[in-house]
Amino acid sequence: MRVKIVTLTFDERLAGFPEEPLRRAVTGAEVLEVSEHFYEYAGVPRLTLVLRLGEEAGRGIRRPGGPDPYQTLPDDRKGLYVELRKWRNERAEADGVPPFVILRNELIAEICRRVPRTVAAMREISGIGEKTCARYGTQIVGLMPEGLKPLASADGGGE
């Protein structure tokens, strides 16, 4: 077992905390326990996470060096991505959980690609489970802009 401490500084451009330092900290390890401490320093919100890590390989975490999900989106999807991250971060603060517990950035990008119009369509996105759909599906679907069409995907998916 290992313990790591990661401090994240609020990034206004992202409308939230960057995830890359956290990803680097947990790569290759199972997260056993997380203790979070939110505070402001010099007027800037900060989040310190104390991570208790096991030795097993982590699941579902993008490895360092992978593309930033925001950068992989076409320009017409980037506004939606920023809006969804802002919603997710506000929801996470209200629920008292880290933002990635609600939706990881990769899943937000996939939502931007698929533009689900129903909760059932959200369930078809790999990585979004029943709990997320039940708790947040209606809210997320409600954020989908009118007229934005799903992008064609390599797996033939879409809405």
Radius of gyration of the chain (CA): 16
Please, are residues 125 and 107 in contact by the beta-carbon 8 Å criterion? yes
pLDDT score, position 113: 96
pLDDT score, position 14: 85
pLDDT score, position 3: 86
Nearest to 78 by CA among 104, 105, 110, 112: 112
Indicate the DSSP class of residue 145.
Answer: P
pLDDT score, position 84: 96
27 residue type, one letter: T
pLDDT score, position 143: 96
Pick out the chain residues at pLDDT < 70. Answer: 1, 55-66, 153-159
Please, are residues 82 and 75 in contact by the beta-carbon 8 Å criterion? no
